Amino acid sequence: MSEQKAIATPKRTKEILEKYGFSFKKSLGQNFLIDVNILKNLIHNAGITKDMNALEIGPGIGALTEQLAIAANKVVAFEIDGRLLPILEDTLQAYDNIELINKDILKADFEEIWEQYFQDANPVKIVANLPYYITTPILMQLLMANLPISSITVMMQKEVAERMAATENTKEYGSLSIAIQYYTEARVKMVVPKTVFMPQPRVDSAVLHLEKRATPPVTVEDEEFFFQLVQASFQQRRKTLRNNLSRHFKDKLAKPQIEEGFEHAEINGTRRGESLNMQEFATLANYFKQQIKENT
């Protein structure tokens, strides 16, 4: 299929929307891409080749799906908006390697999906243009599900992508950075201007590539507790670690025990959460978890 006929052009997108009288639902964060080159770059950054399968979330009218079908062995696409199914069946009819699922990805049974659609030996990568309002819950669910995938490459709000890939001692760094980087190596691959979407969002986007780690970069005794401590450390960014953690753990740890934890981890309690690396958080979490166990 030639580029002129690609779905991802302003002219073709308008034609498709008019043909079906489609109206955008703000509640679903629908913004369709109208630039083929950006989609090809997204697929290139995802490392998709003909011996791979792709799982897509939110295909819209099929702009990315079409380019994935050209580049990959097979594409399985989840679309929550039932109104888009007849449109997708029309726009993608030239391709026989696409499976459409009318379902909310957050309610998907991944074991079932893999059994039904990914029985071949080809590796699976996730590629998507994610709706802004639900980017974080989708990514966290995919990462925590421990799927047999090697990477996730997604277009999302630029500011959120920067937070996910941020390192310590930056204003973007926070509990989200640590949650994402615990499971993956995160890199912002490119910035995408708001002008290449229809309708045009208020902010620019970015492509974030998440390479799945074989094992987390730190050893923690209790993952849930580790993430709880990280979140507590950023509860009030301007406050010190001592203030935030004393407040959060006041019913579980006495102040001297909190001080012992800082001493054990060789961390000054007057530091702020944004200055700690993941290993320092892990050392603190493991120590406090042990203390709480001993207190009960």
Is 104 assigned to a binding site? yes
Is 31 assigned to a binding site? yes
Is 174 assigned to a binding site? no
H and E: helices and strands count for the chain: 12, 9
Say if residues 74 and 99 touch (Cβ distance below 8 Å): yes
In whole angstroms, give the CA distance from residue 249 to residue 292: 10
CB atoms within 10 A of CB 282: 23
Tokens of 181: 């980087």
Is 277 assigned to a binding site? no
Cα–Cα separations (whole angstroms), residue 128 to 16, 77, 259: 20, 9, 45
Q: Which residue has the tokens 């039904």?
A: 116
Is 185 assigned to a binding site? no
Is 35 assigned to a binding site? no
Buried b (16+ CB within 10 A) or exposed e, 170-207: eebbbbbbbbbbbbbebebbbebeeebbbeeeeebbbb
DSSP, collapsed to helix, strand or coil, labels residue 235 as coil
Query: Annotated binding residues, as ranges?
Result: 31, 33, 58, 79, 104, 129
Query: Annotated binding residues for S-adenosyl-L-methionine, as ranges?
Result: 31, 33, 58, 79, 104, 129
